Chains A and B, each alone.
Chain A
Amino acid sequence: MGSNGRSNFDVLVVGAGPAGMAAAARAAESGARTGLVDENFRPGGQIWRSACEDAPTDARHWIQRCTSAGVTFLCGMRVVDHLKPGVLTAELMDRTHEIGYQQLVVATGARERFLPFSGWTLPNVMGAGGLQAMVKSGLPIQGRRVVVAGTGPLLLAVAASLQKHRARVLMVCEQASWITLARFAVALIGQTGKVAQAAQLKKELKSVPFVPNSWPVAAEGNDVIETVTISRAGKLEKIACDYLACGFHLVPNTELAALLGCKLANDYVQVDDLQRTTVPGVFCAGEPTGIGGVELALVEGQIAGLAAGGNIGAAKDLSAESKKLKKFAVHLERTFQLRKGLQFLAKPDTIVCRCEDVSYSRLERYQNWRSAKLQTRCGMGACQGRICGPATHFLFNWTPDSVRPPIFPARVESLAALASHPEPEQQTAVGGH
């Protein structure tokens, strides 16, 4: 166990995706001593995750701006706790690090939502973004048969990316109906950037069937997936494949904001027009405040960074643009709402909590998340309910408990280091589970 380090910043940004990088750049350009912490070994977040050489232009632009403005990158550090006001604890491979701040920008992004269906725990059934990430991390996909399924704009982007890596994308199954998708398309008119993106994806995927009103019913195979059964226009169709890339849109990562005491409303972190949360000195930008995509994240990040850096005037100048882009977020939410029928994909013996192998039939008798947790250990495994929480929210309308530190499983050594820290105020016992 290495010795504990310490850094101090005027503005600390957590999460180096689009929102976080924009926030860090604008804060540093405003003259603030700025740090940007991210658990990945490179900045970019999930959406811009890639090797530096093929990073998208936008990503390179913001990395460049952060670098020029003197932002300190703290990569490979996972924030696990909020020690006291103004100090976060992060964990590296072999030690912990304390990061002090005056102002904090939470830009923790989103994760995919997964829904349980028969066979979804088989190896090679992955998230849509999940498979894409593995391919970008070196998984050879050339010639492999992939079915992409679920809901949300990510599906097409993933299908196009996999195809670029020479995968055989057999089908893209979207649970939304043609009608809602058509309404969405109409709503995009006037947003030239988004229309161009959609047209480009469609062109790239012209040989791949895009099937609305369809979703996976079961994955089958011995040790890995071999076939997937798709419900398509009311009929079942079995497709042989090597991978099923399946994600049901996104859910915000609000754990850190919740731990800091920020108020959530309808599952999202509540912010004002300067991205200020309900906790003084804490800002939030990007997906945790509403799933709105890269463009909105960049604008919100800039507003948060400028405001945190004390440049309120410049922050206010961006609010009109932010409002315009938020309309897109509303359309996204409406279009990719989950149809009720997907609740019935989980069979009695389908695993819902993958960490503890808790099946649907063991959960359905409980009234809420807390009693299910206590009786079955659902949500008490390594992922701390990050996967089964959104699933049980959809299946049973349960809401997760309040967040307790550490927000990620931390090593015993880190917990010891945290506990040995002099603590003036009362705080939930660290490692209290």
Chain B
Amino acid sequence: MPEVLVLRVNGTPLEVPAGVTVGVAVMLAGQPCRMSASGQPRGPLCGMGICFECRVTINGRPHCRSCQILCESGMDVRTDG
């Protein structure tokens, strides 16, 4: 069994297998990664760090490309920042 870790997405604890990216965690949490300039929900598009649609705030640092960052235990991920 893969190791499991717990992070928070918009304050709600979420259990994920080790080795998954933050982008996947946000999708598992059923959340869009961000709201667009006109208020539309957006999720990952390119999966390779180019489109910036998956950007979220991680541990207070804004504009992190969630598809490029592995989940860490205790991470605080916000999609509303």
- Real binding pair: yes
Q: In the complex, how many angstroms separate the beta carbon of B14 from the nearest chain A beta carbon?
A: 13
Contacts of A114 in B (CB 8 A): 45-46
B24 touches A223 (CB 8 A): no
Interface: B17 (CB within 8 A): yes
Contacts of A168 in B (CB 8 A): none
Instruction: Report the bound CA distance from A121 to B21 in whole Å.
Output: 21
B48 touches A133 (CB 8 A): yes
Instruction: Report the bound CA distance from A62 to B18 in whole Å.
Output: 27
Contacts of A56 in B (CB 8 A): none
Instruction: Report B18-59 residues with CB < 8 Å from chain A CB.
Output: 19-21, 23-24, 27-28, 32, 36-38, 40-53, 55
Interface: A51 (CB within 8 A): yes
Contacts of A162 in B (CB 8 A): none
B20 touches A137 (CB 8 A): yes
Contacts of B24 in A (CB 8 A): 134, 137-139
A387 touches B46 (CB 8 A): yes
Q: In the complex, how many angstroms separate the beta carbon of B48 from the nearest chain A beta carbon?
A: 6
B63 touches A134 (CB 8 A): no
Contact status of A123 and B32, CB under 8 A, knowing A41-B70, A130-B44, A357-B40 = yes
Could you say which of B50, B51, B67 contacts A137, with CB atoms under 8 Å apart? B67
Interface: A179 (CB within 8 A): no
Contacts of B17 in A (CB 8 A): 138
With A111-B50, A354-B45, A387-B51 known, 19 other A-B pairs at CB within 8 A are: A111-B48, A123-B41, A125-B45, A126-B47, A130-B46, A130-B48, A133-B46, A134-B21, A134-B27, A137-B20, A138-B16, A354-B53, A357-B40, A383-B50, A383-B51, A386-B50, A387-B45, A387-B50, A409-B63
- A-B CB contact pairs (8 Å), 25 listed: A40-B68, A111-B48, A111-B50, A123-B32, A123-B41, A123-B43, A125-B45, A126-B44, A127-B47, A130-B48, A138-B21, A139-B28, A223-B41, A351-B40, A354-B36, A354-B45, A354-B53, A355-B37, A357-B36, A382-B55, A382-B63, A383-B51, A386-B51, A387-B45, A409-B52
Top 5 nearest A-B pairs (CB, nearest first) are A138-B20, A133-B47, A123-B43, A382-B52, A130-B47
B42 touches A354 (CB 8 A): yes
| Minimal Cβ-Cβ distance residue in A for B37 | A357
Give the A interface residue count (CB, 8 A).
39
Instruction: Report A351-400 residues with CB < 8 Å from chain B CB.
Output: 351, 354-357, 381-383, 386-387
Interface: A252 (CB within 8 A): no
Contacts of B32 in A (CB 8 A): 123, 223
Interface: A213 (CB within 8 A): no
| Minimal Cβ-Cβ distance residue in A for B25 | A138
Interface: A132 (CB within 8 A): yes
Contact status of A132 and B68, CB under 8 A, knowing A121-B36, A139-B24, A354-B36 = no
Instruction: Report the bound CA distance from A126 to B67 in whole Å.
Output: 12
Chain B proximity mask over A102-129: 1 for CB below 8 Å, otherwise 0: 0000000001101000000111111101
Give the B interface residue count (CB, 8 A).
32
Q: In the complex, how many angstroms separate the beta carbon of B24 from the nearest chain A beta carbon?
A: 4
Instruction: Report the bound CA distance from A355 to B43 in whole Å.
Output: 12
Could you say which of A137, A354, A357 contacts B47, with CB atoms under 8 Å apart? A137
Contact status of A111 and B70, CB under 8 A, knowing A123-B32, A138-B20, A356-B37 = no
Contacts of B68 in A (CB 8 A): 39-41
| Minimal Cβ-Cβ distance residue in A for B39 | A357
Contacts of B37 in A (CB 8 A): 355-357
Q: In the complex, how many angstroms separate the beta carbon of B60 from the nearest chain A beta carbon?
A: 13
Contacts of B43 in A (CB 8 A): 123-124, 126, 224
| Minimal Cβ-Cβ distance residue in B for A133 | B47
Instruction: Report the bound CA distance from A170 to B29 in whole Å.
Output: 25
Chain B proximity mask over A133-145: 1 for CB below 8 Å, otherwise 0: 1100111100000
